[in-house]
Amino acid sequence: MAKMNFGGIEENVVTREEFPLSKAREVLKDETIAIIGYGVQGPGQALNLKDNGFNVIIGQRSPSSSYDKAIQDGFVPGETLFSIEEAVKKATIVQYLLSDAAQIAVWPTIKPHLTAGKALYFSHGFGITYKERTGIIPPADIDVILAAPKGSGTSLRRLFLAGKGLNSSYAIFQDATGRAQERVIALGIGIGSGYLFETTFRKEVYSDLTGERGSLMGAIQGLFAAQYEILRAKGHSPSEAFNETVEEATESLYPLVAENGMDWMYANCSTTAQRGALDWWKKFRDACKPVFEELYESVETGNEAQLSIDSNSKADYREKLEAELKELQESEMWQAGRVVRSLRPSR
């Protein structure tokens, strides 16, 4: 584990250089890794581990579209694809990658098979951090660990296939075997992490829920919508409003930020753009900061967790979700986006 300096603050990180794939394979050579759930994170992590030479099986209910997808991805019923209960029985490491709501529902099924010495792995700290609400209280004689890629399973897989990696956090909640540290690092390397940084289950879920509701998804949609609606109200066309609000951001400027940072992106824009951005960014920060304070407090108190549990456990959850997503899909801004994307030149 190396100490890395981030703006004058040291953090514990693990890189591929100090913990190469060959070491990860050696650590996990006698382990059977069961991926429970084949939805958002499951396919990316499972396929990356499989391609990296680890012993991977899938636990997924059947019939289901996810079960069919696992077959399409090369997992074989009765050999590497099983029911959830059977996979947990066979595994020494259980990667619990169901949705938060599904983890709560399935927990009574898997808990009896989490026998001494096994490891229970999460990619989100929700179930353990809010264990009084979720009921996910693991046995004392197993390792409980976390490796959380900072992005979707789709991105994890795409970057892996491109020879790159998606950074991940890692945490240990319970070390019953004395091997939790090497197990979680090996798994983090095995799933294709760029580098791993240390956190806790609590910090992971607090930052994750804040980020999803904030700059990663909720806030960015709100910001896009506000600017688009103002431009349209002032007489700009849908094409112009969308290009100036979303297309230029995602296709031109955000990639520059990812490449070398915000200062580098500023340096590669016109002096007029630089001046305006430098004049206005603090006003946006000051306007948004109270909202983020409110958001973090809602996460910290468990209110956001309870809202998710209550909403996602309802029988009509999927129907209501689809209705809300349809509202976004049918908004003028994203209808304009579909047209703009269709007009991009083919590469």
The pLDDT score that the predictor gives to residue 239 is: 97
pLDDT in tens, 38-64: 998 999 999 999 999 999 999 999 999
Tell me the one-letter amino acid at 282. Answer: K
What are the residue boundaries of the structural domains of the chain, listed by start? 2-199, 211-342
pLDDT in tens, 246-300: 999 999 999 999 999 999 999 999 999 999 999 999 999 999 999 999 999 999 9
CA distances from 333 to 219, 254, 284, 340 (A): 16, 19, 22, 10
Q: Can you name the CATH fold of 2-199?
A: Rossmann fold (3.40.50)
Mean pLDDT on 194-209: 96
pLDDT in tens, 295-314: 999 999 999 999 999 998 88
Q: Which among 50, 124, 157, 213 is annotated as catalytic?
A: 124
- Grade residue 225 by pLDDT with cuts at 50, 70 and 90: very high
Q: Can you name the CATH fold of 211-342?
A: N-(1-d-carboxylethyl)-l-norvaline Dehydrogenase; domain 2 (1.10.1040)
Ramachandran class of 117: left when φ > 0, alpha when ψ lies in -120 to 50, beta otherwise: left
Quick check: 98 pLDDT over 70? yes
pLDDT in tens, 235-245: 999 999 999 99
Quick check: 215 pLDDT over 90? yes
113 counts as catalytic: no
Q: Do 2-199 and 211-342 show the same overall fold?
A: no
pTM comes to: 0.92
The pLDDT score that the predictor gives to residue 7 is: 85
Quick check: 132 pLDDT over 90? yes
10, containing H or E segment: strand 9-15
Of all residues in the chain, the percent with pLDDT exceeding 90 is 94
CA distance 206 to 200: 10
Quick check: 110 pLDDT over 90? yes
Quick check: 347 pLDDT over 80? no
Quick check: 234 pLDDT over 90? yes
Nearest in space to 192 (alpha carbons), one of 24, 37, 38: 24
Nearest in space to 190 (alpha carbons), one of 38, 45, 70, 73: 45
The pLDDT score that the predictor gives to residue 1 is: 76
CA distances from 78 to 32, 87, 93, 110 (A): 15, 10, 19, 19
On average, the pLDDT of the chain sits at 96
The pLDDT score that the predictor gives to residue 83 is: 97
